A and B are shown apart, each in its own frame.
Chain A
Amino acid sequence: MKKLSENILDKISIDYVRTQVLKNAYGNDDTPIAKLDPRTLLLWYLFFGFFPWFANNVVLLLLLFMFAAATTRLAKVAPLVLFVFCLGVFSQTGYLLIVSLFFDGNLSTIIPLSVLTLKVATVSLASITVFSGLDPDRLCAGLLYFGCPDKLSFSIAFSYRILPVLMEQFQNILFSYRLRGRVPEKSGSFWVVKNLFYQIKIIMLSFYPLMLGTAKRSRTTVEALELKGYRHSLSNPEVRRIKLSHLRFSKGDFAFAFISLVYTAGSILISSYIKL
């Protein structure tokens, strides 16, 4: 905890977050997954995001998990994302297992929980593959194609554009507080807590200037959008067609679909013969 309190501010190395996120979004546009059509990936996700919930066979789940893991590897996902993934899976089921041991749980508790874990893990990996493989523009196009509200695809596109700007602004504001502030003096037994409190306090305080600055910025953004007739374009089918005109299915898409198909069918076959 001491270590933690000393360097929260360095831990939130905003630089790190920013590059990780950008890496995740734009950095791997040369992977096989990224070359696929967004519609293929979304349809694929529709299957791998749902099917595991319906399966209760451990062997089948294991095979599906391996497939999802392989695609994640193909997509060259950023390490931070994978770390958050592991944390997420553990927090959903591993924690539950530990606590259940205190309440007279035994080894038979593990099996239902491991099935749950496998399901969660497979579905999450599938979504990591798809949403890391797609850069925001292609994700928007794909979502728009399947009739998602335009406001969502606007939000995604806008968020990616604004993220580096906001991060830098936040970093600078935080740094303003630090350059002008004073660290609690390094004495007394409560220094660790005081220092932690100081760091969290300036992080929170930094949102005040950020909110005001962003308010100004969002006004400019919205006014610019109004000038370009953004709201009107939402209801115009012609606009939608132009936005989607660059989507193409390629041989890779069919190959990917075919491999997924054969693998899944094969897994089901295998799992029906092996009994655990």
Chain B
Amino acid sequence: MNPPKAVCFENVSAEYRGIKDKNPKIFDGLDLNIHKGEKVALIGSNGAGKSTLLKLICGFIKPYGGRIYVCGEEITSKKPEETAKYVSLVYQNPEEMFIGESVGDDIEYAMRERKIPDYKSKALELIEMFSLKGLENKDARLLSGGQMRRASLAIGIALNPSVLLLDEPTANLDIATRTEVIEALNSICSKTETAIVATHDMQLVAEWADRVIVLHEGRIAADGTCTEIFEDEFVLEKVGIMPPEIYTLGKRLFGAQTLNPKEFADLFLREREEVLAI
């Protein structure tokens, strides 16, 4: 028996308003199930519908056909204020999430509005967790890139959503900041049940996701684990994605599937010992 569904799309169709007369369709009869506890990466080229999918889940945009369920409840025509009970979306641009007067105020905001008891102490916990201490009274726009991103993650999980949606969490970050954000992401995933990330960052996909969904022109082109996707050369070719370097390297050298540098290093050492033993 499958675990309960966190997100369920039934025959969903969505379109966006085009500049020319016809409205281009983004999705036409899309079916999709995401189960509780999954860490899903959505990949695909620009315009494949990744962001639209996230926006549909949190009620930002409404489909013109089909039904969407989140945590067993139909949200197809629900207001975003109501879907927020289950879902939270972290934008690609953190600045658009800063609506309060300071970092601390922003983290508190949702809990205060929704009259959650002890919101002050909960906000302090989040500030601690995302190492934002000492910055809570600053205006969030004046922070560094990585700090802004961490603050946006803290805001995103403040309401303890069952489903967390992240749009390009590692875009435009330098390597150090990226590592920071991935760490923060991992610690988040111990708190929320289900997370869906839309991304172009294959390294992030390889290191973090346990299910990969490839979107291509509004359809699901492939759906599987990281290795399944990275092995499927037809899909990679069609959608125009490249597995991370470390994966390609491991495959070329040893014919093995290495998803991160650690796996590669372990494999490399093993192989070397074998060679030395001979």
Task: Consider the complex of A and B and state whether they touch directly, i.e. have CB atoms less than 8 Å apart.
Answer: yes
A positions within 8 Å CB-CB of B: 15-16, 19, 22-23, 26-27, 169, 172-173, 175-183, 205-206, 208-209, 212-213, 216
Q: Which residues of A contact B58 (CB under 8 A)?
A: 179
CA distance A177 to B84 in the complex (A): 11
**Contact B88 A22, beta carbon cutoff 8 Å:** no
CB of A63 to closest CB in B, whole Å: 31
B19, B88, B96: which contacts A27 (Cβ < 8 A)?
B19
Q: Please, what's the 1-or-0 string for B49-86, where 1 marks a CB less than 8 Å from any CB in chain A?
A: 00000000010110000000000000000011111100
**Contact B79 A173, beta carbon cutoff 8 Å:** no
Q: Which residues of A contact B114 (CB under 8 A)?
A: 182
CB of B188 to closest CB in A, whole Å: 17
Q: Which residues of A contact B99 (CB under 8 A)?
A: 173, 176-177, 180, 205-206, 208-209
**Contact A179 B80, beta carbon cutoff 8 Å:** yes
**Does B89 lie at the interface of the complex (its beta carbon under 8 Å from any beta carbon of A)?**
yes
CA distance A22 to B16 in the complex (A): 14
**Does B240 lie at the interface of the complex (its beta carbon under 8 Å from any beta carbon of A)?**
no
Knowing A213-B96, A213-B141, say if A179 contacts B88 (CB, 8 Å): yes
CB of B199 to closest CB in A, whole Å: 18
CA distance A22 to B17 in the complex (A): 11
A-B contact pairs, 18 of them (CB 8 A): A26-B19, A173-B96, A175-B60, A176-B96, A176-B99, A177-B99, A178-B81, A179-B58, A179-B81, A179-B83, A179-B84, A180-B99, A180-B109, A182-B81, A182-B114, A209-B96, A209-B99, A216-B95
**Does B45 lie at the interface of the complex (its beta carbon under 8 Å from any beta carbon of A)?**
no
Q: Which residues of A contact B192 (CB under 8 A)?
A: none
**Does B110 lie at the interface of the complex (its beta carbon under 8 Å from any beta carbon of A)?**
yes
**Contact A178 B93, beta carbon cutoff 8 Å:** no
Q: Which residues of A contact B110 (CB under 8 A)?
A: 179-181
CB of B151 to closest CB in A, whole Å: 13
CA distance A176 to B98 in the complex (A): 8
CA distance A176 to B46 in the complex (A): 23
CB of B24 to closest CB in A, whole Å: 11
CB of A217 to closest CB in B, whole Å: 10
Q: Which residues of B contact A16 (CB under 8 A)?
A: 17
CA distance A175 to B20 in the complex (A): 27
**Contact A181 B113, beta carbon cutoff 8 Å:** yes
Q: Which residues of B contact A178 (CB under 8 A)?
A: 79-81, 84
